[in-house]
Structure 1
């Protein structure tokens, strides 16, 4: 897929997402008002990206920012812990540095910034800074346990912050992976958000073990009745060697068919799948094709699953980072568009990425591989 075709694909994807946001927020006046204003901002951002594209520079509509490496939970199969990224928050970007990143992103034409971690809500200072950026939409991927009255009030006042709470299915599945009592805790948090009519999402790691459960009508109806309006399905990546849990080709085909049914039957919900059907986008969207990742220390990486960086936001602007040698080589060498067995192409091709990395003078490899 050439640059102009990719830009068109991404622009259409953003338009569909905003239309879906308007649809699922229709019954909530506060969120509807924000989404209508945000749709105008998205149009402005799209024009910025088009101008950059005409000038030979591709700007993605999405950015992922990991605010911290710390997390109060010890989830089984956690990618961050399996690759030793927990435990050191030294040299983290400050709230002002993150705010500068957010403002640069908006100036470039980026519309959506996914806040992750670790547990992003532990960086209260950064989340409060994000609330000020009303021209950006921030899905916050959280384990939910840190949500308190102060956060509930913040989410109520600033609808550009959209909490996305991790859940693995029912009580047994969630507590089995996330720890005893976590399911009941996040049910309480969802209830608190629902009482304030704050829309939120759910993030589900999909494995062979829980696929039937998390695609089932009982689970989806429970989330809807709790006030959830978006479900993010994230395919499990076997970082701990448990390949038997990773969906295979047959499981993915079954998942895609069931997801199509859910989208048809539940118009009140937005369903998003990662990595989704990469064939429709001409391959993986990382390394700046559709998004890139900034870690808690400011290192710009192709993706959270490819923790290599030759640029840092403390030394370079986002515009310079998007043209970095590492990102350019991944795009130009065809790694992102290569044939693979489905799922996460960067994780599957990690040996190729490692072989490329030593070529970059002044680059750094994080402690996560």
Structure 2
């Protein structure tokens, strides 16, 4: 009989593998290695906290994605965040304050969450939140940035606070990066890499993989260039369409299989680097790990969502704790109704099942409203 998949065990091993790889990747840098060794100890403590919660029947994922702002200076072609109106040019209104994010980071630490991915919008526009994250040294904060606001002040911050890991977005070479992100962005990112390497600051890149760049971004030339620049982590993010007119950019099953094969080879050829694929092959993790199974998302206004690609919510952390947010009725329905495990064409199951997710969200929100109505005596 096949052993039942254990998402807790899978994600715990994943966290420890990434940290172990990071220690190996930075072994020639005593300052970085010392931090990574301390973090690995903190990761084991966090894992024990999650296991204790699990024994009480409360599942806590090791990852959290936090979109700390809805503001961004770029207009990248096909940006999911702009397509679903999560990112705008206007001045953000009713976003979580620096103090509220600090509370969330503290609560995440207490629960045993080891990784918090800071996203946006452009997260470097929220210097106060970055400062708050830097103080929480038991948590690793990969910062997904477009790189255009990287300056000497931030370089000093990243040098001092080694739990802050800049992850810069790049689409391949100069032509593909500038075509999607804007003229001059590629040159700025490469310049940032040179400055980060000079200071021995560990950094990575995030690559949105589409039909148009899949061969280039998985090529030996591109990965070799990143390695030479000192890049230690490459996160391949498969393009998830958020509208029907951009679906042609999404990978086919064959292209996704080819990417996974290339990543497997790259891990062997470049042991100095860490390679992660998202969402990757969901079959290897027993289905989609969003909605609290392996991670969940807090948007800039405090809504707890299954995933950045699935902007539906029935609970807000302004009104409750992070622990209570994990008990979201929407998350509960997605898990119990096996939506996350459903058969689908490939890629993002939550996008393919978006109408079903929206329905559960509306039901959960309706029940929340019903139970909030005072009863007459």
Q: Calculate the TM-score normalised by the size of structure 2.
A: 0.94
Q: Deviations over 1:245-303 (max 9, x none)?
A: 21101111111111111111110110000001211211101110000000001111111
* Counterpart-to-counterpart distance in 2, 1:84 and 1:253: 31
Q: Which runs of 5+ in 2 are unaligned?
A: 370-377
Structure 1 equivalent of residue 190 of structure 2: 187
* Counterpart-to-counterpart distance in 2, 1:284 and 1:351: 17
Residue 286 (1) aligns with residue 277 (2): no
Summarize the Cα distance change of 1:308–1:3 in structure 2 as closer, same or farther, 3 Å threshold: farther
Summarize the Cα distance change of 1:308–1:344 in structure 2 as closer, same or farther, 3 Å threshold: same
Per the TM alignment, residue 31 of structure 1 is displaced from its structure 2 partner at its CA by 1.2
Structure 1 equivalent of residue 65 of structure 2: 64
Residue 304 (1) aligns with residue 308 (2): yes
* Counterpart-to-counterpart distance in 2, 1:140 and 1:336: 26
Mapping 1:193-212, distance limit 5 Å: 193-212=196-215
Q: Which runs of 5+ in 1 are unaligned?
A: 365-369
Cα pair 1:64 1:293 within 8 Å, conserved: yes
Per the TM alignment, residue 64 of structure 1 is displaced from its structure 2 partner at its CA by 0.3
285-294 or 189-198, larger mean C-alpha shift: 189-198
* Counterpart-to-counterpart distance in 2, 1:3 and 1:22: 31
Cα pair 1:18 1:39 within 8 Å, conserved: yes
* Counterpart-to-counterpart distance in 2, 1:9 and 1:186: 34
Cα pair 1:4 1:53 within 8 Å, conserved: no
* Counterpart-to-counterpart distance in 2, 1:323 and 1:355: 18
Structure 1 equivalent of residue 268 of structure 2: 264
* Counterpart-to-counterpart distance in 2, 1:11 and 1:3: 16
Structure 2 equivalent of residue 171 of structure 1: 174
* Counterpart-to-counterpart distance in 1, 2:183 and 2:264: 33
* Counterpart-to-counterpart distance in 2, 1:3 and 1:128: 42
Per the TM alignment, residue 361 of structure 1 is displaced from its structure 2 partner at its CA by 3.3
Report SS of the residue matched to 1:228. coil
Structure 2 equivalent of residue 367 of structure 1: none
Per the TM alignment, residue 244 of structure 1 is displaced from its structure 2 partner at its CA by 2.0
Q: Deviations over 1:315-353 (max 9, x none)?
A: 111111111111101100000011111111111110111
Corresponding residue pairs, total: 364
Cα pair 2:5 2:286 within 8 Å, conserved: no
Structure 2 equivalent of residue 82 of structure 1: 83
Q: 2:352 aligns with which of 343, 348, 352?
A: 348
RMSD: 1.5
Residue 30 (1) aligns with residue 31 (2): yes
Per the TM alignment, residue 152 of structure 1 is displaced from its structure 2 partner at its CA by 0.1
Summarize the Cα distance change of 1:308–1:76 in structure 2 as closer, same or farther, 3 Å threshold: same
Residue 109 (1) aligns with residue 112 (2): yes
Q: 1:162 aligns with which of 162, 165, 182?
A: 165
Cα pair 1:3 1:58 within 8 Å, conserved: no
Q: 1:245 aligns with which of 240, 244, 249?
A: 249
* Counterpart-to-counterpart distance in 1, 2:5 and 2:42: 22
Report SS of the residue matched to 2:310. coil
Runs of 4+ with >3 A deviation: 1-4, 361-364
Per the TM alignment, residue 2 of structure 1 is displaced from its structure 2 partner at its CA by 9.7
Report SS of the residue matched to 2:236. strand
Report SS of the residue matched to 1:271. strand
Per the TM alignment, residue 16 of structure 1 is displaced from its structure 2 partner at its CA by 1.1
Cα pair 1:120 1:141 within 8 Å, conserved: yes
* Counterpart-to-counterpart distance in 2, 1:304 and 1:203: 15
Structure 2 equivalent of residue 224 of structure 1: 227
Summarize the Cα distance change of 1:294–1:3 in structure 2 as closer, same or farther, 3 Å threshold: farther
183-192 or 43-52, larger mean C-alpha shift: 183-192
